[in-house]
Structure 1
Amino acid sequence: MLQTVDRALHLVRLVASRGEVTLTEVAGSLQVSPSMAHRLLRTCADAGFLDQPLRNGAYTVGPALRHIAADVRRGSTLPTLLGGVLRQVAEGLLETTSLAVLEGRNIRFVLTEEGTHLVRIARPVRTVTPAHATAAGRALLAGLTDDDLEARYQKATLETVQPGTIQDWAQLKAEIKKVRNRDWAIQVGEAQPGVAALAMPVRDGSGQSVAAVTVTVPYLRLSRSEDARSLARRLRPFVDQMERRLALSSAR
C-alpha cells in the first residue's frame, strides 16, 4: 500500500516537473510494468490530479493539482496583498483580527493583527482549526457549491472542539444557509471558551471566496444579535477594500 502511494506521489511530481508524460515514460521512470503504470495514471486522472486531453495521448497536470497550487500561492501572497488593510481593521475596530484560508475541512490562519482594546483576545490559539467550528471556516464554506460541501462533509465525522460545536451535517447545512443569506458568519464559544468571532468572506475578481477576515472578541461583546450586526456593518468597508485590491492584482 505504502509503495503504491509513494509511486503515485512520484508520478504526480514527475508530471508537474515535465508538464506531460507518456505511459512508456512513466513505466521507465518508476521501473514498473506498463500495466502498473497505466493503473497509476488512471487512478491519478480519476482523482483529478492528472488529465489526458487526447485518447491514448500523454498525461498532463489535472485540475485538482492546479487548484492545490493556486491555494498554496494564495496562502503565501494574501498576507502581502491584504496585510495593510488587516492592520487598518485592527486599528479601526480595536479588536484582534485575522486572515484565514480554507484547507479541506480546516482553516489556516495566515496572518493576525492584535487589537488595542483594553480587554482583547491575543491571537488564535490554534493555527489550523476545523472549519465547521469557526466563523472564518463557515464564511469560506458558504462560498462552496452544495455538491462540494456534501463531498467534504456528508460522510465525515465533525470534530467536537468545544461542547457547543456543531455536531452533524444537517446542523452545518442550516448554519451555512444563514451565512449565505447575510454574508457573514459568527460563532460564540465553539472554538475556544469565552471567545466569540465574526467573519466575512473576501472574494477575488472572479467572485471566488479566497480568504476570510475574522474579528475575535470576548464573547460578551457579541452576546446580542445587534452586537453582531453592528460589527458586520463596521467590518464591511474594510472587506470591500480588500476585494478591490484582489481585483486590481488579478487584472495586472
Structure 2
Amino acid sequence: MNYEGVLTKMQTEFGSPIQYYLVFENDFLNMNQLLDKKVSINFLKYQCLNCNLEKKIYRQGFCYDCFFEIPQAADWIIKPELSTAHIDKEDRDLAYEKRVQLQPHVVYLANSSNVKVGVTRKTQVPTRWIDQGAHEAIEIVEVPNRYLAGITEVALKDHVGDKTNWRTMLKNDIKDENLVEWRDKLRQFIPKEAQEYFIESNSETNIEFPVLQYPKKLKSLNLVKSPFYEGILKGIKGQYLIFEDDTVFNVRGSEGYVVAITVN
C-alpha cells in the first residue's frame, strides 16, 4: 500500500486504546492498523501549510514568511497570557483572534512524564492531552477567554511543571499521580480573576495508547538528515510513531513535509 501527502498532526479518536489517523488531502490511514507492519517513510519535499508553496519549513509547518505574518503562529498561541482580543486589541488579525481567544478555555493538569499545567480550548479536550502523550489528566478551571486561562497557567507554573520530558513519556517511565489532590492543592494559587471558575467536583481522565513495545534507547528520526526510513511500527503515543529498533518519529514536528509512505 502506497500513500503520499503533506504531513499534519495525526487526528485522534478517544477510545481504549486511542485511534490514530494520518490524514492526507485525498486519503487517510488508520495508524493502529499498521502496528507490527513494516512501514517506510520517504521525504520528498516541503509544502508550507499556509501558502502551500514549496518553501523550507521554519516552524509549526509554516515557512519563514508565513510564520511571522499569520495569526495562527502569533506569540499568544504559545503564551496565552499575551492574548488581547478581550480588550479589543489586535495583534495580527483581530477577527481571527476574537474567534479563537474569546471562547471557553480550560486550564488542566496532565501527567505524561510528570505533572504539568497547560491551557487549551475546551473543544480540544481531550485531544490536547492525547497529543501530549498524557496517560491521565484533569481540568482545573474553565474560563470564558484565553487571557484568563493564560494568567492562571502563569500563576500555577510557580508551583507545578509546564513542560513534558518527551523521552520519559515515550519510554513510559512514569508513575500515576492523584490529580484530584493536585487540583485541590493548587487552588489557592489561582488568580482572583479566575477563582470563580474553579472546577470542584470532577475526576481525572485516563488515556490508553496503542503501544506494543516501548523504546529503551531512543533514536529520533529527522527526515531532513535521513530522508528515507523503514521499520516495524510498534506503537503510537502523543504524536510519535514508535518503531521496533527504538526509532521514534515526531509527526507533528514534521508538519509541512511531503512524504511517501509504503506499508508492507
Select the structure that is richer in strand: 2
TM-score higher than 0.5: no
Between 1 and 2, higher relative CO (CA 8 Å, sep ≥ 6) is seen in 2
Q: Determine which structure has more spread, i.e. the larger CA radius of gyration.
A: 1
What's the TM-score, normalizing by structure 1? 0.26
